[in-house]
Amino acid sequence: MKSQPAPRPSLLTLPIGWGLATLAAIAISIHQAGLQQDWLNLSGWNQLWSFVQASIRPDLNPALLRLTLNASLITLAYAVCGTVLSVMLGIGGGILASEVWWLAVFPRRAADQSSPWWIGIRGLLVVPRAIPELIWGLFFVNLWGLDPLTATLAIAVPFGAITAKVFSEILDETPRQSLLILLNSGVAPLPAFFYTLLPQAFLNLLSYTFYRFECSIRSAAVLGIIGAGGLGYEILLSLQSLRYEQLWTFFYALVVLNGLVDYSSAWLRRRLGCASRLDLNLRKPTYRLQPVYQRDPLVSLVGLSMVLLIPFCFWYVSADFSKLWQPRTRQLLGEIVQASFPPDLSSLPQLLTLSTQTLAMSVLAIALAALGGLLLSFPAAHNFFLPGGLLHLRSPDRTSTLWSWAALLFTRSVLLICRSIPAPIWALVLLFVMFPGIWPGAIALGLHNLGILGRLMAEVIENLDQRPLEALKAQGALGSLVFLYGVLPLTLPRFLAYILYRWEVCMRETVIVGLVGVGGLGRLLTEQLSSFDYRGMMVTLGCFIILTLLVDWVSATMRRDLR
């Protein structure tokens, strides 16, 4: 009896289907942006050239350097204060938004009976995290003016909601056997949590806190654009007055500040054993119970420095937190709520057009960021081209070694500059040579996120398991084959997860570049908020939140299907 041939596998698998859908989305977005239209402003090339020339001769006047130092301290202080408050909100919200907490509180209930609690709290976190920090800043300006409290809470509120969501996911993915043992022994849920889940998840929580601090530095610079002070404010003033030498002085200060935070964060994570600054947990991780604190004098010194830095930053910022419960704040907030209803639905046809433009801008931005980050991440990794790396020559000569180090330093510098300069500043520079529209916004967001994606991807490469790659090399495989059959299969799933995660962020950041007039819902939203059109703003904001949730859902579905 003849055996039946094995059925041929289907050509249309989930990954292929999502790949085709991605290509279609990029093609539609390019059509929406309009390559066939006149989008280049040739008369602005002289201004752009003057801007580029000024990069080699920044203004080093002592008075300007003192101003730069003060602006850098303001930016750092805003970031520290915003991060501390967001982590405090994230810890409380993360526990309450985690499924495992409610299962611990109601151990005798079924999971589907306790789910409404954590689902409801996660639903409450949707609105604050969907609204970018710039919109929160503009809203708080209407309440408290240009008080430091405005910038501090503009970072803390959305980042607190984002941190709570990530913390809850980390806690839910942490093995809970030890928690169940303590609960069954009669221990209360809160002590059981602190003695079982939190020690296991501590390194992941700490690593994400460092990542959030790096994001806060960039957000503090963005908030300077609305007048909150710091390096972002000085950059905007210099750009508006066409003082490019001063502008580059502030640029370099922002790059140095981001570089110092990035380096110190990476060093501390390595000392503590955190492999990556952002762990998306593609699969259920296996955790080892390990001591949270290890006797390390350097780590202790850094920890003490942070303990001293936090009160210094709160003192330096001098935010008046008493304004939160003053009668005037309640009065203004009540007037804003009253002026927001009933919502003005007359702009719905315009919102549909602007929504498609916003979505197209985010798709093009993440496509540019993904391509650029992928190309730059490999030479930016320490273990790739350098001697002893994955693709190093067996007997590298001095010239090839120098070229490898030059490529590493160059790509890392490019990635640092791209992620250090806020997307609205990139958009203002691009408007020298481009007309307002989707393209300058997409390219500005793409450049900014390219630096972030490239650095995250380089960390993935540096943390690769070397054993299967060394086995391929021991069999005599060429470097290209090691790359195609070893490196790419191991890194591509994490790369895709990071790209999809940054797409969600790009969607929210379209509002930020909308502030400088590049189009989309962001431009309309900032105009409505600036003109106190709260009725129209409610509808625009609702449309933007729906669009953000749609992108979040598509991104989460793709990450789940591509695991």
Which residues are within 8 A (CB) of 53 and not within 5 positions of it... i.e. 6 or more apart? 244
Q: Which residue has the higher pLDDT, 17 or 162?
A: 162
Rounded Cα distance, 215 and 209, in Å: 10
pLDDT band of 283, cuts 50, 70, 90: very low
Q: Are 348 and 539 in contact (CB under 8 A)?
A: yes
The CA-CA-CA angle for residues 131, 135, 136, to 5°, reads 80
Listed range (167-181, 204-218, 387-401, 431-445) with the worst mean pLDDT: 387-401
At residue 286, the pLDDT reads 41
Q: Is the pLDDT of residue 533 over 60?
A: yes
DSSP 8-class letter at 107: T
Q: Which residue has the higher pLDDT, 285 or 554?
A: 554
Q: What is the pLDDT of residues 91-124, one digit of tens each?
A: 988 888 888 888 777 765 544 445 566 677 877 8
Domains by residue range for the chain, with CATH: 76-333 (1.10.3720.10), 346-561 (1.10.3720.10)
Listed range (452-461, 491-500, 517-526) with the worst mean pLDDT: 517-526
Q: Read off the tokens for 196.
A: 């079982």
pLDDT, mean of residues 156-177: 88
Q: What is the mean pLDDT of the chain?
A: 82
pLDDT band of 288, cuts 50, 70, 90: very low
DSSP 8-class letter at 274: -
Q: What is the pLDDT of residues 430-460, one digit of tens each?
A: 888 888 888 888 999 999 999 999 988 988 8
Q: Is the pLDDT of residue 390 over 80?
A: no
Task: Give me the sign of the Cα torsion angle 44, 50, 53, 55.
Answer: negative
pLDDT band of 280, cuts 50, 70, 90: low
Q: Which residue has the higher pLDDT, 267 or 563?
A: 267
Q: Are 218 and 419 in contact (CB under 8 A)?
A: yes
Listed range (31-40, 304-313, 328-337) with the worst mean pLDDT: 31-40
Distances (CA, A) of 266 to 206, 259, 276, 419: 12, 10, 8, 16
Residue type, 345: L
Q: Is the pLDDT of residue 179 over 60?
A: yes
User: Which one, of 32, 143, 161, 36, lies nearest residue 88 by Cα?
Assistant: 161
pLDDT, mean of residues 414-420: 91
Q: Read off the tokens for 93.
A: 């919200």
Which residues are within 8 A (CB) of 459 and not within 5 positions of it... i.e. 6 or more apart? 275, 276, 277
